[in-house]
Amino acid sequence: MSESLNSVLSHILSQTRENISLLASLKQISAHEANELLSKLPKTPISVSGDSLDRFPLAIGAAATITLFKVKALWGYNEDGKVTLL
């Protein structure tokens, strides 16, 4: 499990770096802010051991719970039954 967790965390770290660079290139944050944020990220690939998992339990891969609820349209919709679900 820690191998797949390491992969996920490395992906998140990579995406975070890219997102910070994108925000800087779009002038949404300054180059100084981008450099400050990037400096706070780990320089080496993330590695999680079994000991780390005990301290920070994560439910990666846990089944998602889907909650369905009824809604009521505020206007007429499909009153003649022409719209069908696939």
Count CB-CB contacts under 10 A for residue 35.
13
- Three-class SS state of 9: helix
Q: What's the pLDDT tens digit per position in 23-66?
A: 999 999 999 999 999 999 988 766 666 555 555 555 555 555 66
* 3 has pLDDT over 70: yes
What does the pLDDT read at residue 75? 77
The pLDDT value recorded for residue 48 is 63
Q: How many residues does the chain have?
A: 86
